């Protein structure tokens, strides 16, 4: 073996070791052998899907996730009080499974415990200083342990929207109320996402930890999936980042 060949083999081996070590570190951090997810929907966009923003989850982005066993989920209501923000708003963004359909990546709004008597316990509302109402009346923190009727939020999220959750129509079972940042209502009020059904912890696949801007668009173009959802500045931004 001549010196040039030997040096080439050493260089290739060194690169392989570096990449292998880095990937092993990512797997350890994520707690999963499949930590990357491509975002194919604009439901988390803060620009109505018109432009991709760094720090916000847009269609065409990829996210590095963590297994639920590796981190606690902080909801919007909890994050609002402690200043915990992810991807441009309070609280964590979770990826959850839906039987017979693709997983959803949306923000966890709050966690509601089923009391079994038609009422819901939402302890986090006891400390929430945002605007919330029950059947049109200002929410009473002392009653957060037994709520029923229509729960309404106002001045909610990065754009200050208002929306309702019909607690009396929820199916039995404790879980998360979830919503896309770009949507005007929670998944539980949608007829197509998770109608009247809270997201139980065992349906949470992962928690979004870090955004990798634009990279998921490559996969989307290769597979032909939802390419019309990709913001117009995604590919130019990716090209500039590479070069």
Q: Which domain holds residue 217?
A: 31-242
> Are both 8 and 44 inside the same structural domain?
no
pLDDT at 180: 98
Q: Which residues are within 8 A (CB) of 103 and not within 5 positions of it... i.e. 6 or more apart? A: 37, 95, 96, 97, 205
3-state helix, strand, coil in the chain (%, to 5): 30, 30, 40
User: Is the domain of 43 the same as that of 131?
Assistant: yes
pLDDT per residue as tens digits for the range 63-92:
999 999 999 999 999 999 999 999 999 999
Tell me how many domains the chain contains. Answer: 2
Cα–Cα distance measured from residue 84 to residue 123, given in angstroms and rounded to the nearest whole number: 18
8 and 77 share a domain? no
Same domain flag for 53 and 66? yes
The predicted pLDDT at position 201 comes to: 97
pLDDT confidence bin for 51, thresholds 50/70/90: very high
Same domain? 130 vs 205: yes
Same structural domain for residues 81 and 3? no
Q: What is the pLDDT of residues 1-32, one digit of tens each?
A: 565 555 545 544 554 555 556 666 777 777 88
Residues 25, 43: one domain? no
Together in a domain, 65 and 141: yes
Q: Give CA–CA dist 116/106, Å, rounded.
A: 27
pLDDT at position 216 over 80 = yes
User: What is the per-residue pLDDT for 8?
Assistant: 47
107 & 19 share domain:
no
Distance of CA 54 to the CA centre of its chain: 15
What is the Cα–Cα distance from 71 to 110, expressed in whole angstroms? 16
**With pLDDT > 90 as the criterion, what percentage of the chain qualifies?**
81
Residue 26 confidence (pLDDT): 73
Query: Do 24 and 50 fall within a single domain?
Result: no
Tokens read off for 194: 């998770």
pLDDT of 144-202, one tens digit each? 999 999 999 999 999 999 999 999 999 999 999 999 999 999 999 999 999 999 999 99
Mean of per-residue pLDDT scores for the chain: 91
Helices and strands, counts by H and E, the chain: 4, 13
Q: Which residues contact 56 (CB under 8 A, 6 or more apart)?
A: 44, 45, 46, 47, 87, 88, 181, 211
pLDDT above 50: residue 42: yes
* Residues 46 and 12 both lie in one domain: no
Q: How far apart are CA 17 and CA 222, in angstroms?
A: 29
**Model confidence pLDDT, tens digit, residues 116-151:** 999 999 999 999 999 999 999 999 999 999 999 999
Same domain, 49 and 147: yes
């Amino acid at each position: 073996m001549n010196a040039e060949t030997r040096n080439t083999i050493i260089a290739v081996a060194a690169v392989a070791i570096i990449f292998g070590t880095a990937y092993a570190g990512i797997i350890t951090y994520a707690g999963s052998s499949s930590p990357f997810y491509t975002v194919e929907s604009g439901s988390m966009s803060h620009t109505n899907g018109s432009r991709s923003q760094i720090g916000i989850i847009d269609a065409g982005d990829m996210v590095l996730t963590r297994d639920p066993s590796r981190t606690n989920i902080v909801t919007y209501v909890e994050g609002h009080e402690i200043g915990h923000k992810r991807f441009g708003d309070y609280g964590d963004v979770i990826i959850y499974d839906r039987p017979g359909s693709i997983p959803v990546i949306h923000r966890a709004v709050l966690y509601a415990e089923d009391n079994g008597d038609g009422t819901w316990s939402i302890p986090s509302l006891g400390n929430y200083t945002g605007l919330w109402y029950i059947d049109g009346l200002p929410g009473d923190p002392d009653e957060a342990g037994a709520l029923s009727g229509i729960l309404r939020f106002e001045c909610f999220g990065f754009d200050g929207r208002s929306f309702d959750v019909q607690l009396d129509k929820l199916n039995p079972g404790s879980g998360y109320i979830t919503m896309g940042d770009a949507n005007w209502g929670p998944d539980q009020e949608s007829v197509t996402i998770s109608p009247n059904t809270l997201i139980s912890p065992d349906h949470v696949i992962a928690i979004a930890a870090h955004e990798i801007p634009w990279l998921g668009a490559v996969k989307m173009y290769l597979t032909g999936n939802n390419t019309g959802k990709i913001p117009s500045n995604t590919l130019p931004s990716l090209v500039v980042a590479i070069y």
